[in-house]
C-alpha cells in the first residue's frame, strides 16, 4: 500500500509541476503531449490498487507485469478509441505507449520495493 500511495502522490506532483511550469518553460512536445499520460498510467494502477486495498480484495492487487500491461492496454484503448465516439477527443496511438510506460514505471517501483524492502510490496511470484 505504501508503494501505491507513493506512486499516486508522486504522479500527481509531477503532473502538476509539468502542467504548471515545465511545459510552459521548456516548450517540449514530449512534456506537452505525453509526460502527463505517462504519469496518468502510473497513477491509474496505483489508484486501482488503493481501491482494491480499501475494499479488502487484496487478492486482486495489480502486481504482475502481464496484468499491468493488459489493464493499461484496455484502459488506453477505451480512452483513445471509445471516448471519441461520445466526446470530442482526438485519438493518438502514441498515448497508448505513454500509458504503458506509466504502467512500467509502476512495475519498476514494485521491483525496487521487492529488492530493497524485502518484498513488502505484495509482489506475487
Spell out the per-residue pLDDT of the chain, length 125, in tens.
788 999 999 999 999 999 999 999 999 999 999 999 999 999 999 999 999 988 888 777 899 999 999 999 999 999 999 998 999 988 999 999 999 999 999 999 999 988 888 765 554 44
Location of C-alpha cell 519498476: 108
- Cell, residue 22: 515545465
- CA distances to 5, 27, 32, 45, 121 from 109, rounded to whole Å, are 12, 29, 25, 12, 9
Sign of CA dihedral 74, 42, 117, 112: positive
- Cell, residue 79: 480512452
Amino acid at each position: 500500500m505504501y508503494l501505491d500511495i507513493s506512486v499516486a502522490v508522486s504522479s500527481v506532483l509531477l503532473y502538476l509541476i509539468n502542467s504548471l511550469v515545465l511545459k510552459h518553460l521548456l516548450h517540449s512536445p514530449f512534456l506537452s503531449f505525453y509526460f502527463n499520460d505517462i504519469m496518468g498510467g502510473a497513477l491509474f494502477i496505483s489508484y486501482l490498487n488503493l481501491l482494491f486495498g480499501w475494499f479488502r480484495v487484496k487478492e486482486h492487487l495489480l502486481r504482475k507485469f502481464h496484468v499491468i500491461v493488459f489493464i493499461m492496454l484496455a484502459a488506453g484503448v477505451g480512452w483513445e478509441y471509445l471516448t471519441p465516439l461520445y466526446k470530442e477527443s482526438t485519438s493518438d496511438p502514441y498515448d497508448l505507449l505513454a500509458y504503458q510506460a506509466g504502467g512500467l514505471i509502476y512495475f519498476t517501483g514494485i521491483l525496487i520495493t521487492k529488492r530493497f524492502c524485502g518484498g513488502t510490496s505484495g509482489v506475487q511470484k
